Chains A and B, each alone.
Chain A
Amino acid sequence: MEVSLFHAALQGLLNLMQLKVFLAMLVGVSIGTFTAVAPQGMGMPLVYAILLPVVIRWEPVTGIALLIGASSVSAICAAYLPVLFGIPGGAGSQATVLDGYPMGKRGEARRALGASFMAGGMGALIGTLTLAVAIPAAKPLIYLMGSPELFVVMLWGLSMVAVLAGRRPIKGLIAAAFGLLLATVGQQAQSGVMRFVFDQPYLLDGIPISIIALALFGIPSALDLALTKLGVEQQAAPLKGSLLDGIKDTVREWWLVVRCSFVGVWIGIVPGLGSQVVDWLAYGHAAQTCKGARETFGKGDVRGVIAPESANDAKDGGDLITTLLLGFPQGVVTALFIVALLAWGFVPGPEMVKKNADLIYSIIWIQGISGIIGTLVGFVLAKQLAKLAEVRYTFMVPIIFIFVLMGAFSANRDPVDLLVVVCFGILGYFMRRFGYPRPAMILGLVLGDLMEKYLYRSMASYGFSWLTRPAVIVLLILATVSFVLTLRGRLKEAR
């Protein structure tokens, strides 16, 4: 078995030893990098949808090199917007804004970007290695996590409000409750009941989280620059930190990278969790476990950048485990990847792992190599892009507004989104001014929908007996212990 896997891995690598495959990978990496810095609407699903009709005419390995090359780096290079403009990146990179932007403002944009790319590269590598190792054995793990277990994990995630609220627990709770309330807008999936829809088609699917996050962080950043009349790097000289400092930080925090990468892989493996929670859960984990985080997180702690970025990039490896092993897509991008595989005549699932092991390993190699190239591209671009942080506010404020408005509009091409951005932008400004933590609101919004879904599914399938499932009991104990420890720390701090 091991010998055949070794041969498959070797053959997988040999499949890539063609100029056209390498070129396709480079083109993919370029597209992925561009997508990462473009406004939110130009997401990977759209890129895949455009590329797919073209690549399915190519021979499989070349097509895979282009597709995986693009998707594997889009997460690595997603830190530009949060660090330089204070705008949340795409799903999976939103939490980076919490510490990345304060670092940028402190004159440490290069250090933040260096840490982000290094953490992303290391995360991608860990995700890829896990993918390579787990392909033969991940199936039981995927079946282990049912709706009851996922509900407890979400509950655990919500307890991180205590961390994200900082020194203002009551305001944190109010913000999280408001986020939970916003998550109820739209047609409830379980009953079909319309909640707070007011007969408006716009509200049928709820208010898009990406637009709320964009507005809550992006608009206040622009207003902040306009009011302080400075560039992002408010301490004009001397500039502190370099890309190398960020790299050193990440290497020094290798254990945090490993832990958060496994959080990312796990979220990638479990169907239904998706990109929206990965960065927040990793950030919350870091804020709970890192020494001195209570004082420094949210104020420009490099560990607050390392945690979400490593998790977000490792997630892609986890995504591919479920996609290739079971044929279950983990989102639109992997669903389209499956479409491409089917068009080439491969049916993802256990049979493909047996029959086309070399192709599976080609995918793994492409994922790993693209991750490395993407990281290097990130470093090269970072030097130039970091100069944006020094640009005068008269240029930066319009740029940020354009990015925010374009990001909001291009997602759905709905003018109402622009109105929503403005409203939530104003709300974000006042939340910041009066000390209501915006991350707590986003966490409530992100987890609210998932919690409701998993609780409903658990009750509908098992009644109250889901509470007696061994995995649920273990997770509940872990969540309670973690919550109590966090709370105790807060109380000590208050005394």
Chain B
Amino acid sequence: MEIRRPRFVAAVTLGFALILLGKAGYGQQPSPFYQGKTLTIIQGREPGGTGDMRVRAVLAFLKKYIPGQPNVVSEFMPGGGGRKATNHIFRGAKPDGLTLGNVGAGLVANAILGQTGVQYDLDKLTYLGSPNSASQYVFLSRREAGLGSLEKLRATPGVRIGAQTVGHDIYINGRLFAYLIGLKDPKFVTGYSGPEVDLALMRGELDARANIADTIVTRTPEWIEKGLIDFHAILEIPRGEKHPRFLQLPELESFAKSDNERKLLAMFRSFRLTGSPYILPPGTPKERVQILQEAIRKTFKDPEFRKEFKKLTGDDPTPLMPEAHEKAVRELPRDPEIVKFFKKIAGGDPLPPR
């Protein structure tokens, strides 16, 4: 067989040249920054809680939507209600876009209220959004306590209201309800876990509590079916975000008597609205922030993510997008008078007089 040598040599040379050009990346986009890298999410909590499940629902989607499909792993740094992890993200984490944090809503509240152990500046962190922001809290009492109406609730002195710890979200909620509804010398009994509060309520050790509306419907449906509980009022976050099961309940703001009381509620709502925020250390390069923000946006909009989130947490996601998140933090009420008022409500002393 005869081979035409010049053509053959030219073809082979061209082939090699094309391969070399391809290897050198001519005519191609540079490989994405995250390709072959590992993105670490530091969680400010123990593994296994609802917060962890919210993060786990996001992991696979972040990998999918970040160009270069990095490995996404989760690490835990519990302590101080997220303060330890946030301090680490703020001061210790390298701002290279490969480390981000996820903590609870205490991130915002602790900073605004000037709590012990806060070593970060809220305004210098970068916010990427939160998978959960909207929620509703309900104030309830056990039926056997005979507190079936708001009048009876107000007329009964020393109603025992259970919660986890002073400063816990459920504790502050209980205090807000008791204060604004106008309970007479309520007693706040703390030191329970969430389910223990329910048990103590059923045992008669407590009379009332605040809880998340979805949790009641999902975890203790027999309370509603068997009429073991009286529901009194609801706190909607954001205002107007109704819960289909509790449409008949009065919104807590309807009990407010002054501007300061309305501002107090606004402050609490804004704390809660930030949900379980994803944060980046100060100084993270802008283009990497944008990549991560875009990935979060795409994740939260993905119908498959909604299904996964519902499966793992039992709740529907109520995402806060990155720009809305930044805005929510920027616009946080920081009026010193209201901060002082809020601290009194959130603290361990008896409620202030109205």
Given contacts A143-B202, A201-B87, contact A332 B195 (CB under 8 A): no
Closest 6 CB pairs of A and B: A192-B166, A204-B80, A201-B117, A45-B48, A332-B48, A189-B165
For residue A409, give the distance in angstroms from its CB to the closest CB of chain B. 12
B246 within 8 Å of A (CB atoms):
no
Distance between Cα atoms of A147 and B191 in the complex (Å): 10
Q: A52-B53, A461-B206 are in contact. Are A414 and B117 (CB under 8 A)?
A: no
Partner of A461, one of B47, B81, B160, B218: B160
Stretch touching chain A among B63-71, B219-227, B247-255, B277-285: B219-227
**B residues less than 8 Å from A271 (CB atoms):** 193, 195-196, 199
Q: Give the Cβ gap from A346 to chain B, nearest Cβ, in Å.
A: 12
With a cutoff of 8 Å between Cβ atoms, the chain B residues found around residue A338 in the complex are 219
Q: Does B318 contact A (CB under 8 A)?
A: no
Nearest CB to that of B189 among chain A residues? A460
In contact, A190 and B348 (Cβ under 8 angstroms): yes
Taking the complex as formed, is A485 at the interface, i.e. its CB lies under 8 A from any CB of chain B?
A: no
A343 touches B191 (CB 8 A): no
Selected A-B contacts with CB under 8 Å, 30 pairs: A45-B47, A49-B53, A52-B53, A146-B200, A147-B205, A190-B191, A191-B348, A199-B116, A199-B117, A200-B117, A201-B80, A201-B84, A204-B81, A204-B117, A326-B199, A327-B220, A328-B195, A336-B48, A339-B312, A339-B313, A342-B218, A342-B314, A347-B219, A349-B220, A349-B222, A414-B77, A456-B190, A460-B160, A461-B187, A461-B206
- CB neighbours of B77 from chain A (8 A): 412-414
Hey, what's the 0/1 contact readout for B97-112 against A, CB within 8 Å counting as 1?
0000000000000000
CB atoms of B46 and A461 under 8 A apart: no
The verdict on A333 contacting chain B, using a C-beta distance below 8 Å, is yes
User: Is the CB–CB distance between B165 and A187 below 8 Å?
Assistant: yes
Contacts of B347 in A (CB 8 A): 192
Partner of A202, one of B84, B219, B308, B314: B84
- With a CB–CB cut-off of 8 A, which chain B residues contact A490? none
The answer to whether A201 and B83 have CB atoms under 8 Å apart is yes
B203 interfacial by beta-carbon distance below 8 Å: yes
Asked if A329 CB lies within 8 Å of chain B CBs, one says: yes
| Distance (whole angstroms) from the CB of A330 to the closest CB of chain B | 9
Number of chain A interface residues as a range: 35 or more
Q: How far is the CA of A457 from the CA of B220 in the complex (A)?
A: 23
With A49-B47, A49-B52, A343-B312 already in contact, the answer to whether A193 and B348 are too (CB < 8 A) is yes
Asked if B75 is at the interface (CB within 8 A of a chain A CB), the reply is yes
Q: Which residues from chain B contact A350 at a C-beta distance below 8 Å?
A: 222
- Residue A101 is within 8 A (CB to CB) of chain B in the complex: no
B190/A329 in contact, CB under 8 A: no
Specify which chain B residues have a CB less than 8 angstroms from the CB of A343 in the assembled complex.
311-312, 314
- Interface 0/1 of B67-99, CB less than 8 Å to A: 000000001111111011001000000000000
CB-nearest residue of chain B to A456: B191
Min distance, Cβ B5 to any Cβ of chain A, angstroms: 60
Q: Is the interface of A mostly helix, strand, loop or mixed?
A: helix
Residue of B nearest to A56 (CB): B311
With contact pairs A190-B190, A201-B119 given, residues A272 and B165 touching in the complex (Cβ less than 8 Å): no
When distances are taken between beta carbons in the complex, the residues of chain A under 8 Å from B187 are 460-461
Structural contact, A201 and B160, CB atoms closer than 8 A: no
- Asked if B167 is at the interface (CB within 8 A of a chain A CB), the reply is yes
Determine how close the nearest CB of chain B comes to the CB of A275; give it in whole angstroms: 14
**CB <8 Å contact, A328 and B348:** no
- Asked if A53 and B348 make an inter-chain contact with CB atoms under 8 angstroms apart, the answer reads no
Q: Is the CB of A49 within 8 A of B56?
A: yes
Complex interface: chain B residues within 8 A of A190 (CB): 165-166, 190-191, 348
| Chain B: CB-nearest residue to A459 | B189
**Do A189 and B190 touch across chains, with their CB atoms under 8 A apart?**
yes
- Known contacts A271-B199, A329-B195, A351-B221; decide if A205 and B166 are in contact (CB<8 Å): no
Closest to B78 in A: A412
Contact B48 A189 (CB under 8 A): no
Residues of chain A touching chain B, judged by Cβ–Cβ distance below 8 Å, are: 45-46, 48-49, 52-53, 56, 142-143, 146-147, 187, 189-194, 197, 199-202, 204-205, 271-272, 326-329, 332-333, 335-336, 338-339, 342-343, 347, 349-351, 412-414, 453-454, 456-457, 460-462
With A49-B52, A147-B205, A202-B84: A332-B79 Cβ-Cβ less than 8 Å: no
Besides the contacts A187-B167, A191-B166, A204-B116, what 16 more A-B pairs have beta carbons closer than 8 Å? A146-B200, A146-B203, A147-B205, A189-B164, A189-B191, A201-B80, A202-B84, A271-B196, A335-B49, A413-B76, A414-B77, A454-B191, A456-B191, A460-B188, A460-B189, A461-B189
Docked Cα-Cα span, A236 to B24, in Å, equals 65
Inter-chain CA distance A326–B219, complex, in Å, is 10
Given contacts A52-B56, A347-B218, contact A339 B196 (CB under 8 A): no
Assembled-state Cα–Cα distance A48/B222 (Å): 28
Interface status of B198 (Cβ within 8 A of chain A): yes
Interface presence of B33 (CB below 8 A): no
Partner of B79, one of A56, A189, A412, A453: A412
B16 contacts the other chain (CB 8 A)? no
Residue of B with least CB distance to A139: B202
What residue of chain A has the Cβ atom nearest to residue B42's Cβ? Answer: A413
Which of A53, A193, A200 has the largest number of chain B CB atoms within 10 A? A53
Most buried by B among A48, A351, A412: A412
Within B157-216, the residues touching A (CB, 8 Å) are: 160, 164-167, 187-193, 195-196, 198-200, 202-203, 205-206
Whether B191 lies near A453 (C-beta < 8 A) is yes
B195 neighbours in A (Cβ, 8 Å): 271, 328-329
Shortest beta-carbon distance from B88 to chain A in Å: 9
When distances are taken between beta carbons in the complex, the residues of chain B under 8 Å from A339 are 53, 312-314
Q: Tell me the bound Cα distance from A215 to B196 in angstroms.
A: 31
Question: Whole-angstrom distance between the alpha carbons of A335 and B312 in the complex?
Answer: 12
Q: How far is the CB of A350 from chain B (nearest CB, A)?
A: 6
A332 vs chain B, min Cβ distance (A): 4
> Are A414 and B190 in contact, CB atoms less than 8 angstroms apart?
no
Looking at the assembled complex, report how far the CB atom of A206 sits from the nearest CB atom of chain B, in whole angstroms: 10
Minimum CB distance partner of A414 in chain B: B77
Distance between Cα atoms of A332 and B78 in the complex (Å): 14
B348:A192 contact, CB within 8 angstroms: yes
Q: Which residues of A contact B167 (CB under 8 A)?
A: 187, 192
Alpha-carbon distance A46/B117, docked complex (angstroms): 27
Q: How far is the CB of B227 from chain A (nearest CB, A)?
A: 15
